[in-house]
A and B are shown apart, each in its own frame.
Chain A
Amino acid sequence: MRIRPHITRFTLLTAALLCACVARWGRANDGPVVDELALKEQQALAAAVERVAPAVVQIRTIGGLERVDDTVLAQGPTTGLIVRDDGYIVSSAINFAQQPASTLVRLADGTQHPAEIVGRDHNRMLVLLKIDVDEPLTAPVATPLADIRVGQRAAAVGRTFVASRVNISTGVVSALGRMNGRVLQTDAKASAANYGGPLVDLSGRVMGVLVPMAPQMSSSAEEPSEVAGAEYYDSGIAFAVPLEHVLSVLPRWIDQGDLKRGLLGIGLAAGSPYATEPRITTIWPRSPAAEAGWQAKDLITAIDGQPVVSQTQLRRQIVPHYAGDQVAVTLQRGEGDDAETLETEVTLAAKLPTYQQAFLGVLPQRASSQSESNAKAKADAEQGEAGVIVRAVWPDSPAAAAGLVAGDRLTRIGDEPVASTAEAVKVLAAATAGEETTIAFVHDGEEIEHTIVADTLPTAVLNKSDLPAATARRSEESAATTADNGERALADLKLPEFGQVARVLEPAESGAAPGLILWLGSADAEINERLIRSWTSVVDGDRVVFVVAPPSDAAGWTGGDLEYLDRLLPAAVAQYGADVRRTIVAGEGKAGQLAFAMALKSRGRLAGVAAVGAPLPRTLVVPDNAPGAPLAVLTIATENSPFSVLVNRDARRLLDAGYPVSQAARRGAPSHNGLLNSATRSVIARWLDGLDRF
């Protein structure tokens, strides 16, 4: 006989106890056959379930998805609970995760009714249905929350296996106020057999509605998954939303349709949420917190009069609330004797406004070499001439309106002096588009102050004429030189753990930190070589390192290559000292789709993604653009290609998520190998050249 190693310990323990028990039984053969009291209790519970059974309905969905994420959805019928006699029925959100085309409800009396979805409760993972009824239905009685005790008997009830009879599993109430105070916990077995059904007490009242639920580890604004927690089925850990709560929120639910989680729009100090005080580090622009006048470094001390001293306690007070709820929040601003207490009211939001980065319209001068840059910084410091030299001004930008021109020196944004591009970017990251601020700059030796209104990041690609003539001319010269000198050798870039070899072309002359294009190329080395050569004038003229990576499989790029690319990018950036603000990933077709996947996953390590003839990958969830990790997007649709509709639709999606999306079109057939004509290359180059804008 073979025993799995991991159970050996239990085997020994059980064996020992079993032996002990058996030894005792040997002497006790004269007791009653059955504990009648326990049997009666069990029978009482079954009787209580029968009293609730008329309110338990069977739900059938028609059409829809077979799986959500990695969870294969139950194919059979599911359960719902009548909550109001005029036809309102509540169920678990997982029963509707497949987004069915139609829904049928079968009542306990066997009649079938088409149902419509009134709305969802995204905070407690419930769905509200409505059926038309001629006669009032039987709605169950809710157990008052205050009467529910840990340890009391409970039965989980569904109407899944057979329509004519409810299915029952029994246990006890394991805990109250789980999941930040939103649900009860029970050890009665819960699964697709009873999600959406009631948790019944011994008196035939309903304590709650069974739902799968998983803790949300982050406070992110992303919607929780409807299938989260389903993997805990039948485990002895099950949850139920108190029916008392459902009934209290029902009028508002019917009125609003969907109930959403309520968000504040703040970031908190890092550390264990149990031990760290709820001190605000960031305020999301235009969020409820911002509207209430909260500031970074404020400390939250109480919610609705309840003192909170840890981030966990704060969550426990906020998470049960819905969007639209008004919450009284007490803040402490300042430290020690200067500390003041502020009483504020916030109205929680369902969604935080998409982040729109503030934009001035400045293209900073890039130091032509590292040594020159150091020398200049030293000289500036000595002469008190710190600031950012303007290389060019974006047309029709706030900076252009303020009269800034190339060669001026920007010295201050708002109250913050700016000595470098990095500092300017940091100041602007905290601001939002539409905000009024002042800038100071030196023009012809004279300091000028001007009030401007920050704009959103531009989506237009600069024309050649908008950029300093020197750059354009130099690029032509370089192209000529290269042609004269013949072909330069390409460098190889290989990561030890991966078989692929990426090929690299560096700018001919040394100088400032270059930009970097990571191009997802072909499996064919010859095509990659032709591709990389075609970019020579951009590489030299705009100072860009061009890296072509091949897929691991000759058939092309797959999601499995993401790991390779995630490792290749930092290696290339480090090797060539690339400027992250001008580092992008690009590709055509399938490679372009993977470029999207990579860029949206590794925001903060890339300034942009350029995709040619590539819609977003079908299963990709687009996260909202976020402060601190801005990403620019360039989509190039191939004219007359069937994909161009999708490409343009997805550009819209990305715009809605707050990304600056530049759109361009190219003529001709899809190249399938990334070899583009010079016009398209030029668009990508000019877009990239403008990415270090602020």
Chain B
Amino acid sequence: MTHTNLTSRTTRRLGERRALRCVIAASLVAIMACSVSIGAARAAMPVIRDVQRKVVKIYGAGGLRQMEAYQSGILVSAEGHVVTALSYVLDTDDVAAVLDDGRKFSVEFVGSDPVLELAVLKLNLGDEQVSWFDLKEAAAAAPGEPVLAVSNLYGIAAGDEPASILQGVVTAIAPLEARRGAFQANYRGDVYVVDAHANNPGAAGGALVDWRGRLLGVLGKELKSRVTGAWLNYALPVETWAGSVEAIIAGRNATGSPGLALAPEEPLTLADLGVVLVPNLLARTPAYLDAVRPGSPAASAGLRPDDLIVFVAGEPTASCSEVIETLGRIDRRDELRMAVLREGELVDVVLAAEIDEEPAGPPSSAGEVDEPAADESDSTEPAAGESNREGA
């Protein structure tokens, strides 16, 4: 592979080949462990075999460089309904699903949830019988609990080969703060973060199960974490999507997906507060106050120039851009709590809402930093960083 071919996905980890080797080693360890009596985390063989019957290999569009033409899916009904990732692989009329025993079915597209980025397919079973996960019997897991990720990652399983098993533990249950290239994931709710390399190409749509074989979640698409900057291994918990999937199967529109924050009617701006930040020149300019307008809510709350804003409405803010972005999610008619660092001390302040229909008075230079939040974050953040990194 030449240097110019490197994209985000191949730079993913130092030597994907090695990662792959680890993955295979891990799956083999997990599988072999079933037949020996010593070793690390393991579930018994019948459990694993049972889970493998409920995970299907899905083949569809793609096949170009870095766009694998396959992914994984989970059977969730006796009628052959499959939950999988909503992706380009499904962008064709010619999607096929292959079971662990080699049976191959054409599929029809039932519906999708664009927020969760999940799709529901139905296998044209005819008279055939299949095993499936009953969503009503799904389980939940806590951080530290051992889990298995079951998927056709890298398309290794072919024909009548069952999906690969990876073992790991739940690392955390945390909001999905992730991005794919320059795009953010639509879903912002909690996910299971795991310490297995569960989300490699082809794994999306696979199952995360506990050692008793109970379904915990569906493996998501490849994403990088905004928090750690690293590729994320995660699954969407069943309880976040079971309702939506049942609605799709029942022929209703998917509704009530959690995780979409509504933008406030009248977003708060710096001018509303009566403060000017220092010029936002760097990617991470610390949010120091440059000026405070006399008589403004900020002045009444006792804010002073040179205060460093570190929390806005309970959310940590590491830079001017983050302050502006966070304010944009708050309605200007609400009371606002902030914390600033002043001479090495944390100072909490409460800013009363300013019901003032007049345009904000001086300082007029506030307009300079008072851009809409979205523009700020888009222009300064990951997109540029990502492309530079790849170019380097």
Report which of B213, B228, B284 forms a contact with A192, defined as CB distance below 8 A: B228
Contact A62 B308 (CB under 8 A): yes
Report which of B46, B162, B229, B287 forms a contact with A73, defined as CB distance below 8 A: B229
Q: A7–B161 Cα gap in the complex (Å)?
A: 16
Q: Identify which of A24, A71, A74, A169 gathers the most chain B CB atoms within 10 Å of its CB.
A: A169
Q: A31-B45, A33-B212, A38-B39 are in contact. Are A62 and B286 (CB under 8 A)?
A: yes
Contact B344 A189 (CB under 8 A): no
Q: A17–B316 Cα gap in the complex (Å)?
A: 50
Question: Is B140 engaged at the interface, CB distance under 8 Å to the other chain?
Answer: no
Question: Is A232 engaged at the interface, CB distance under 8 Å to the other chain?
Answer: yes
Residues of B within 8 A of A6 (CB): 17
Q: A405–B44 Cα gap in the complex (Å)?
A: 94
The digit string for B38-50, where 1 denotes a CB below 8 A from any CB of A, is 0111111111110
Contact B145 A231 (CB under 8 A): no
Contact A15 B212 (CB under 8 A): no
Q: Identify which of B164, B172, B388 gathers the most chain A CB atoms within 10 Å of its CB.
A: B172
Contact B310 A42 (CB under 8 A): no
Question: Is B296 engaged at the interface, CB distance under 8 Å to the other chain?
Answer: no
Task: Give residues 85-126 of A contacting B (CB, 8 Å).
Answer: 98, 101-102, 104, 112-114, 116
Of A160-168, A201-209, A491-499, A646-654, the segment with at least 4 beta carbons within 8 Å of chain B is: A160-168
Residues of B within 8 A of A189 (CB): 171, 195
Contact A76 B228 (CB under 8 A): yes
Contact A231 B14 (CB under 8 A): yes
Contact A77 B316 (CB under 8 A): yes
Q: How far is the CB of B78 from chain A (nearest CB, A)?
A: 21
Contact A234 B68 (CB under 8 A): no
Residues of B within 8 A of A452 (CB): none
Of B20-28, B105-113, B349-357, B365-373, the segment with at least 4 beta carbons within 8 Å of chain A is: B20-28
Contact A60 B341 (CB under 8 A): no
Question: Is B226 engaged at the interface, CB distance under 8 Å to the other chain?
Answer: yes
The digit string for B163-185, where 1 denotes a CB below 8 A from any CB of A, is 01000111111110100000000
Q: A1-B155, A64-B284, A76-B226 are in contact. Are A168 and B24 (CB under 8 A)?
A: no
Question: Is A480 engaged at the interface, CB distance under 8 Å to the other chain?
Answer: no
Q: In this complex, what residue of B is CB-closest to A39?
A: B211
Report which of A29, A43, A74, A102 forms a contact with B46, defined as CB distance below 8 A: A29
Contact A74 B227 (CB under 8 A): yes
Q: A1-B69, A18-B161 are in contact. Are A101 and B308 (CB under 8 A)?
A: yes
Of B29-37, B116-124, B235-243, B259-267, the segment with at least 4 beta carbons within 8 Å of chain A is: B29-37
Q: How far is the CB of B245 from chain A (nearest CB, A)?
A: 26
Contact B227 A75 (CB under 8 A): yes
Q: How far is the CB of A59 from chain B (nearest CB, A)?
A: 11
Report which of A45, A66, A161 forms a contact with B385, defined as CB distance below 8 A: A66
Contact A15 B158 (CB under 8 A): yes
Task: Give residues 328-384 of A contacting B (CB, 8 Å).
Answer: none
Residues of B within 8 A of A155 (CB): 144
Report which of B17, B34, B70, B230 forms a contact with A191, defined as CB distance below 8 A: B230
Interface size class of chain A, counting residues whose CB lies under 8 Å from the partner chain: 35 or more
Q: In this complex, what residue of B is CB-closest to A6?
A: B17
Q: Identify which of B31, B47, B229, B319 gathers the most chain A CB atoms within 10 Å of its CB.
A: B229
Contact B156 A7 (CB under 8 A): yes
Q: A172–B144 Cα gap in the complex (Å)?
A: 15
Contact A1 B158 (CB under 8 A): yes
Question: Is B19 engaged at the interface, CB distance under 8 Å to the other chain?
Answer: yes
Q: How far is the CB of A188 from chain B (nearest CB, A)?
A: 7
Q: A165–B172 Cα gap in the complex (Å)?
A: 8
Question: Is B389 engaged at the interface, CB distance under 8 Å to the other chain?
Answer: yes
Residues of B within 8 A of A255 (CB): none
Question: Is B13 engaged at the interface, CB distance under 8 Å to the other chain?
Answer: yes
Contact A60 B316 (CB under 8 A): yes
Question: Is A574 engaged at the interface, CB distance under 8 Å to the other chain?
Answer: no
Q: A42-B145, A236-B22 are in contact. Are A161 and B227 (CB under 8 A)?
A: yes
Question: Is A618 engaged at the interface, CB distance under 8 Å to the other chain?
Answer: no
Q: A60–B308 Cα gap in the complex (Å)?
A: 14
Q: A33–B213 Cα gap in the complex (Å)?
A: 9
Kindly list the 3 A-B residue pairs having the minimum CB-CB distance in the complex, ordered from nearest: A76-B227, A46-B144, A63-B286
Which residues of A approach B to under 8 Å, CB–CB? 1-4, 6-7, 10-11, 13-15, 17-19, 21-22, 24-25, 28-35, 38-39, 42-43, 45-46, 49, 60-67, 70-77, 98, 101-102, 104, 112-114, 116, 155, 160-162, 165-170, 172, 188-189, 191-193, 231-236
Which residues of B approach A to under 8 Å, CB–CB? 13-15, 17-22, 24, 27-28, 31-32, 34-35, 39-49, 59, 63, 68-70, 142-146, 154-158, 161-162, 164, 168-175, 177, 193, 195, 197, 211-213, 225-231, 233, 282-287, 308, 310-311, 316-319, 339, 341, 344-346, 385-386, 388-389, 392
